[in-house]
Structure 1
Amino acid sequence: MKILKQTALVLLSIALGATFLYSAWTKLYNYPALEKFEWTIVQFAGLSWRVAELSARFFGGLEIALGSLLIFNSFGRKKWVPKLAIALLLIFSAYLVFLWVTVGNNINCGCFGDEILMSPSASLLKNVALIALLLVIAKFHQGLRFNWLRFVNPLIFLILCALPFIFYPIPESKPQWLQKDSFELNLAPLYDTTLSKPVAPVQLKQGKHVIAFLSLSCPHCRMAAKKMHIMKLRNPSLPFYFVVAGKDQYMEPFWKETEASNVPYTKLDGDAFTNMIGYSWPVIYWINTGKVEAQTKYIELDQHEIEKWLVK
């Protein structure tokens, strides 16, 4: 009977660890997955972009470390691993309650990235079940009992926590200032009724604007549009503009995925689009009275840097 109980506890610890590792994997298996996790934090928790970048990596690393130690049933004599896992789930649960109250229940909380879509209420139920099972582990399971684990466990924990920061270093936020190489952007196609629909409703040759040239079917372009949409939510005065191109069949999926209807746009004829910016997308220009002053990739696009540039 004792052997059966111990075997069940070992298997339960492995299953809980696998859940934590899977949760980390859904957020960290590639850079776009990590970005979406960051943007969920920015959009729904209201944190700054830099804090979201740090938080996404920190919590992802915690899940990796806790999941790995649970799988190997290596808890430490004071069982700090299951206790810390419970604390982490309580923090996540407080965040889910905040989401539910402020945003509603009809959203994907991002707990399992885009692999398993979960509402805040569903994820709360999942957390309650996990906490209950971790309490069983903390109360009844001894785990591995070796003196040397007192020193090895914390070291392994710290190394695993650092992995997201090692594999996904936080990108530089500085735009590529063109300085002497700045050039006049030919905006005429955006006002030509035979090439663009609708004709640009904004006078882009006046003042400062950040224009993103996006292909409707390009996944990185959709990421750029999503990021700019969130920035626009946080600061509606940002002078963003999209120039899009692609088949009409991609229009609806593009707007559904990016939710970027808060950014004005023009759909440009394909040849005119490539004549303006070439065949590598997305292209994001910072223009001042029609002249391109800077260019940036969407990964390095930084709201604070844009706001500083606007008041220069």
Structure 2
Amino acid sequence: MDQIIRFYKENKVYFAWTIRVIVSVLFLFSAYSKLYPSADLGLGTMEVKQLYALGFSRDVAPYFSRLLVAAEFALGIGILQPHFLKRIVVPATILLLVVFCVHLTYSIANDVGGNCGCFGELIKMTPLEALIKNIITIGLLVWLMRMLPKDKPPHNFPFLALIYALCALALFMISPIQKKSAPTGDENITVGEVVIIEDEPIVDTIPNEIPLDTNTTVNVDNPDTNTTDKDPEEVIEKPKDTAPKKVTSEFSKHVPASIKLDEGKKILCLFAPTCEHCMETAKTLTEMRKKDPNFPKIFIIFMDEGPEEIPNFFDYAGAKYSYKVEDIVSFWEIIGMSKDTPGVVYLWNGNVRYFSDGIDANAFSEGALRKELDKKK
């Protein structure tokens, strides 16, 4: 036992540096993961799926997300430098982790599952997994506090402040905040790029008029008295309209009015141009459309995370469809904060009959969509 204690005291400085490096890597990786695969996409996803749920407004969330990620970068760098290490840096790191733990505990208590967002979309963790990780990290930092000697002058607080200022400035430079007006009213909102492709004629499967078999009597002497007698036994009744009552869907205001999303059967897709699962889903829909001449008209809302890849997206899908590009935050607001790409919505007269999202339990299924399309009412 004495040997262990002596070994610990002799190598205390190495233990301290090991913890500092581990915590630094953890914070730097956490900050980087929130910018994956791009800063705009990572921060936008964090704002909608994490900060909105905490009550942050649309105006405040973009600033807070960048300042928070900047703090993670700054703490990851700051824990490796000597200035105010024991008095400011380590306590600030512990405080941030405690705040995260409180939030995660609240999420667990309210049975909130899914990805907690600690490592963005790069490594998905449940709230419980993230809580355990944070508690272990806090334990390491408390141990570090006990090993560190008192801060010795000269202290350079401006240097410490400069680290955070530069991190924050870098975040705002690589992902500038763009002011966007919040949706109001029921008007159609078409702020993003819109491309309408008229290659999908709408086929009316219920004719307005049904031809009737008739017996015609012709009076040769007086043509004006010619009459047409309908054979009552051959009269074909007009099919009863079994379509659901027309309603205004929550998606209609985000789609150009010319698409008439709430009239008849339509399919709305919510895709990201570089998403492989979205491309596969689009390809499947194209194959279904080729087999069925009465397949509903398709409209796509793309996330603005790689619009230059849209032509390649359509090449893979095998067809071009009318589409609109929405900024990342607006896209998540449209599909839903708890949803994920690829999203496929089948609407009949504005009624949502099928809504798949993500790649897990509620993922797109050709069979499930076909079953809904075949229903008569």
TM-score by length of 1: 0.62
* Equivalent-residue separation in structure 1 for 2:29 and 2:108 (angstroms): 24
What is residue 267 of structure 1 aligned with on the other side? 298
* Equivalent-residue separation in structure 2 for 1:60 and 1:22 (angstroms): 11
TM superposition shift of 1:133: 1.0
Contact preservation (8 Å) 2:52, 2:61: no
What is residue 256 of structure 1 aligned with on the other side? none
* Equivalent-residue separation in structure 2 for 1:143 and 1:113 (angstroms): 36
Structure 1 alignment gaps of length 5 or more: 224-244, 252-264, 285-296, 305-312
Tell whether 2:294 aligns with 1:283: no
What is residue 218 of structure 1 aligned with on the other side? 273
* Equivalent-residue separation in structure 2 for 1:192 and 1:143 (angstroms): 79
Query: Partner letter of residue 247 of structure 1?
Result: K
Of 4-13 and 29-38, more deviation after overlay is shown by 29-38
What is the 5 A alignment of 1:159-308? 159-174=166-181, 189=200, 191-192=202-203, 209-211=253-255, 214=269, 218-219=273-274, 246-248=282-284, 267=298, 274=320, 277=322, 283-284=324-325, 297-299=326-328, 301=330
TM superposition shift of 1:41: 1.5
Contact preservation (8 Å) 1:42, 1:49: no
Where 2:176 maps in the other structure, the secondary structure is coil
TM superposition shift of 1:188: 10
What is residue 101 of structure 1 aligned with on the other side? 109
* Equivalent-residue separation in structure 2 for 1:273 and 1:92 (angstroms): 46
Percent of pairs with identical residues? 21
TM superposition shift of 1:154: 2.2
TM superposition shift of 1:200: 12
What is residue 57 of structure 2 aligned with on the other side? 48
CA pair 85-128 structure 1, distance change in 2 beyond 3 A? same
Tell whether 2:69 aligns with 1:14: no
What do residues 71-96 of structure 1 show as CA deviations (whole Å, max 9, x unaligned)? x2435165210100111111111111
- Quote the RMSD (CA, aligned, Å): 4.5
Q: Which has the higher helix share?
A: 1
Tell whether 2:97 aligns with 1:89: yes
What is residue 337 of structure 2 aligned with on the other side? none
What is the 5 A alignment of 1:53-64? 53-64=62-73
CA pair 133-107 structure 1, distance change in 2 beyond 3 A? same
CA pair 57-33 structure 1, distance change in 2 beyond 3 A? same
* Equivalent-residue separation in structure 2 for 1:201 and 1:267 (angstroms): 21
Q: Runs of at least 4 residues of structure 1 off by over 4 A?
A: 143-146, 185-191, 199-204, 212-217, 220-223, 268-273
Tell whether 2:113 aligns with 1:69: no
Of 113-122 and 44-53, more deviation after overlay is shown by 44-53
- Name which one, 1 or 2, has greater alpha-carbon Rg: 2
Q: How many residues align?
A: 242
* Equivalent-residue separation in structure 2 for 1:132 and 1:68 (angstroms): 20
* Equivalent-residue separation in structure 1 for 2:201 and 2:245 (angstroms): 9
* Equivalent-residue separation in structure 1 for 2:28 and 2:299 (angstroms): 44
What do residues 103-155 of structure 1 show as CA deviations (whole Å, max 9, x unaligned)? 43x31101011222111111111111111111122232138855153332222
* Equivalent-residue separation in structure 1 for 2:150 and 2:284 (angstroms): 58
What do residues 140-199 of structure 1 show as CA deviations (whole Å, max 9, x unaligned)? 213885515333222223322333122211123159x999xxx9x7999474369xxxx9
Of 208-217 and 7-16, more deviation after overlay is shown by 208-217
Of 37-46 and 26-35, more deviation after overlay is shown by 37-46
The one of 118, 121, 143 equivalent to 1:114 is: 121
